[in-house]
Amino acid sequence: GGGAWLNPQRDNATFFWTHDAHGNADSAFKPALYVSDEHWYWVVSGVPYGGRLFLFAQDVRNSSQGLGFQGQGTGVIRVENPQDPIAQWRYNVSTLLHDASGKLDFSDSPTIGRGA
């Protein structure tokens, strides 16, 4: 998986992805507990805050059922330098906690800002 960066001032998008050691397209961001190439992040949204960029991603694994993949959780990618070119981003990956039913449990998850 890769990503797209939209610059509304120029009305265009820049697409970006990384490559593995063999030159094949590779996931730009990997889950904190990354285990194989069959496990990746699917970035679904993001918000700038305090000079950083927080990206929210579905933790996904290959599956033999349905559409060929299955969600396993949710992660947050905190980009420290979003003003720089994407290839130079410095970032940290965190996993959000889920309750027994698989729903997000924000009671123990990190908050942005002061929280509620």
**pTM score over 0.75:** no
Residue 106 lies in a domain: no
Residue 14 lies in a domain: no
Residue 113 lies in a domain: no
Residue 1 lies in a domain: no
Tokens representing residue 12 in the block: 């265009």
Q: How far apart are CA 95 and CA 91, in angstroms?
A: 13
Residue 73 lies in a domain: yes
pLDDT at 114: 43
Q: How far apart are CA 70 and CA 81, in angstroms?
A: 31
User: 52: which strand partners?
Assistant: 49
- pLDDT (tens, 9 = 90+) of the chain, 116 residues, equals 455 555 556 666 667 778 888 988 877 787 766 666 677 788 888 999 999 999 998 888 888 888 887 877 788 999 999 999 888 889 998 887 666 666 665 444 444 444 44
Q: Which domain holds residue 74?
A: 30-96
Residue 25 lies in a domain: no
| The total number of structural domains that make up the chain | 1
Q: What is the largest CA-CA distance in the chain?
A: 46
Tokens representing residue 80 in the block: 């420290």
